[in-house]
């Protein structure tokens, strides 16, 4: 049994409407050298890159821009971005965008600091030490990567999403400006918001830190009182605000609350860990290239249903946080209302994917289940153990 937990997050979190206007001053205080901005064409087209660059210009901060990130970036993109960055003499990295751009920025920060190739750092605790100063500016309210120790890439050869996971790549600064999310299209708002909900629920219903089956240091450690407080607040913020944010993109209050919910969920899951929904999303994501949040929405209710029997009290609380009336019900019935509430939210924001609809062949399911077992660092956080047959059962329910 483990008896100690620890908690890490970004070095500093700066949060609020128009916070990005302070980027230039912030960079000036960090480094006199050139900043590398890592972003993607969608962020450029939305005018967000220009907003960030004008703040840098105003303060005379020199910069180079890599704007060719792609959604769910392949390992090759990290190599390409690194090749670009090597010639720019950059002293700090700014990740501007959704999880894809920020994760690519994290990978580039590692490569610029220590050289080599991305695969040298895949896994946990492979980064040798601190990386160049990293500022993460999220434009989606979903991944929480601005505070997490993970950079996720797509490995087409292994047919798996793969990651660099190390506290050294938690951003030095998370600069969170909800105003950057107001132009996010409804479908992206929906899928990224469901990602945040999945982080919060999987963190809240993870195994207790005492019972994590791991020796020595672990990044994802199971629940503790601090992650519980963060996750509870995040579940409530997302379930109260996601519908509005999807339906009324310009609703600044809903956007603000979603941005906050996403950061809190990121703080929670990047210490407590995520579980089987995220683990199963790894092989399914590599095979389908579907957005990560869509897969979360597809898998979360089925994983919750599987987990309910071993964490009844936790799921009752999730149901309550999502506004369900649990009075007069026995514990199991009350816990199952959390699954119903999540299904309703997913339906309301129009995430309707099935594995079949994403082009998965039924014959692929056993192999996906086997591949999921390789994501042991996430599965061990799940409150209930899973065999390949259990995972296949969940996949069949999501088919
Ligand atoms: N590192 C972590 O801790 C962590 C956690 C969860 C997910 N992830 C990873 O993050 C990636 C997904 O990131 P994401 O869900 O944030 O989406 P994304 O970064 O892939 O962005 C999706 C699309 O939305 C566009 N977009 C983003 N913000 C916009 C805005 N404000 N206005 C207009 N368009 C906008 C982008 O240009 C892009 O085309 C996946 O690779 C996933 O595996 C990482
Ligand atoms: Fe996620």
Domain segments of the chain: what residues? 12-181, 186-397
Mutate to test the pocket of ligand 1, among 20, 74, 98 (most ligand atoms within 8 A of CB): 98
pLDDT value at residue 32: 64
3-state DSSP call for residue 217? Answer: coil
Residue-wise DSSP of 294-357? HHHHHHHHHHHHHHGGG-HHHHHHHHHHTT---TT--HHHHHHHHHHHHHHHHHHTT----TTT
Name the more confident of 287 and 252. 252
Determine the average pLDDT of the residues in 111-123: 96
Q: Which atom of ligand 1 is nearest to the CA of 195?
A: 6
Which region among 63-77, 106-120, 156-170 has the lowest average model confidence (pLDDT)?
Answer: 156-170
Tell whether the model's pLDDT for residue 41 goes beyond 90.
yes
Q: Is the CB of residue 186 below 6 angstroms from any atom belonging to ligand 1?
A: no
Q: From the CA of 87, how far away is ligand 2's center (Å)?
A: 33
Sheet architecture: strand order including 123-124 = 123-124, 160-165, 150-155
For 47-57, write each residue's pLDDT tens digit.
999 999 999 99
Determine the average pLDDT of the residues in 113-124: 96
Q: Is the CB of residue 202 below 6 angstroms from any atom belonging to ligand 1?
A: no
Q: From the CA of 292, how far away is ligand 2's center (Å)?
A: 7
CATH assignment, 186-397: 1.20.1090.10
pLDDT band at 104, cuts 50/70/90?
A: very high
Mutate to test the pocket of ligand 1, among 75, 146, 188, 283 (most ligand atoms within 8 A of CB): 188
For 143-174, write each residue's pLDDT tens digit.
999 999 999 999 888 777 888 999 999 999 99
Inter-axis angle of helices 225-247 and 331-348, to 10 degrees?
A: 40
Q: Is the CB of residue 205 below 6 angstroms from any atom belonging to ligand 1?
A: no
Give the number of the ligand closest to the Cα of residue 196: 2
pLDDT value at residue 353: 87
Query: Fold identical between 12-181 and 186-397?
Result: no
Mean pLDDT score across all residues of the chain: 96
- Protein residue with least CA distance to atom 18, ligand 1: 98
Tell whether the model's pLDDT for residue 77 goes beyond 90.
yes
Q: Is the CB of residue 148 below 6 angstroms from any atom belonging to ligand 1?
A: yes
Cα-based torsion angle of the residue sequence 199, 205, 209, 214 in order, rounded to the nearest 10 degrees: -70
Q: From the CA of 195, how far away is ligand 1's center (Å)?
A: 10
Instruction: Flag whether the pTM goes above 0.95.
Output: yes
pLDDT band at 223, cuts 50/70/90?
A: very high
Domain at 12-181: CATH architecture: 3-Layer(aba) Sandwich (3.40)
Q: From the CA of 100, how far away is ligand 1's center (Å)?
A: 5
Determine the average pLDDT of the residues in 316-327: 98
Q: From the CA of 111, how far away is ligand 2's center (Å)?
A: 24
Per-residue tokens: 216? 């020595």
Q: Is the CB of residue 40 below 6 angstroms from any atom belonging to ligand 1?
A: yes
């Amino acid at each position: 049994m483990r008896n100690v937990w620890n908690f890490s997050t970004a070095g500093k979190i700066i949060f609020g409407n128009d916070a990005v206007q302070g980027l230039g001053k912030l960079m000036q205080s960090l480094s006199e050298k050139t900043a590398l901005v890592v972003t993607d064409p969608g962020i450029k087209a939305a005018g967000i890159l220009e907003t960030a660059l004008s703040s840098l210009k105003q303060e005379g901060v020199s910069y180079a821009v890599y704007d060719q990130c792609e959604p769910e970036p392949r390992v090759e993109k990290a190599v390409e971005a690194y090749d670009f960055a090597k010639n720019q003499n950059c002293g700090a990295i700014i990740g501007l965008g959704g999880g894809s751009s920020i994760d690519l920025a994290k990978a580039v920060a590692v490569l610029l600091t220590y050289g080599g190739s991305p695969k040298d750092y895949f896994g946990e605790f492979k980064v040798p030490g601190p990386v160049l100063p990293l500022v993460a500016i999220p434009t989606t309210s979903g991944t929480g990567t601005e505070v997490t120790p993970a950079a996720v890439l797509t490995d087409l050869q292994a047919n798996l999403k793969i990651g660099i996971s190390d506290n050294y790549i938690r951003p030095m600064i998370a600069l969170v400006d909800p105003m950057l999310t107001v132009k996010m299209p409804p479908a992206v708002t929906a899928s990224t918001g469901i990602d945040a909900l999945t982080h919060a629920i999987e963190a809240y219903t993870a195994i207790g830190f005492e019972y994590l089956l791991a020796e020595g240091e672990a990044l994802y450690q199971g629940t503790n009182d601090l992650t519980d407080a963060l996750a509870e607040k995040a579940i409530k913020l997302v379930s109260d605000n996601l519908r509005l944010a999807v339906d009324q993109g310009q609703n600044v209050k809903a956007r603000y609350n979603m941005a906050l919910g996403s950061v809190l969920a990121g703080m929670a899951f990047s210490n407590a860990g995520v579980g089987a929904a995220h683990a199963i999303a790894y092989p399914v994501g590599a095979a389908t290239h579907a957005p990560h949040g869509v897969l979360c929405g597809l898998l979360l209710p089925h994983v919750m249903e599987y987990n309910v029997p071993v964490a009844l009290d936790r799921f009752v609380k999730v149901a309550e946080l999502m506004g369900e009336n649990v009075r007069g019900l026995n514990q199991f019935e009350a816990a199952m209302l959390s699954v119903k509430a999540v299904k309703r939210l997913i339906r309301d924001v129009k995430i309707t994917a099935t594995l079949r609809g994403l082009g998965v062949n039924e014959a692929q399911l056993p192999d996906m289940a086997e591949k999921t077992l390789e994501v042991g660092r996430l599965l061990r956080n799940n409150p209930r153990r899973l065999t390949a047959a259990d995972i296949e059962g969940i996949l069949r329910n999501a088919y």
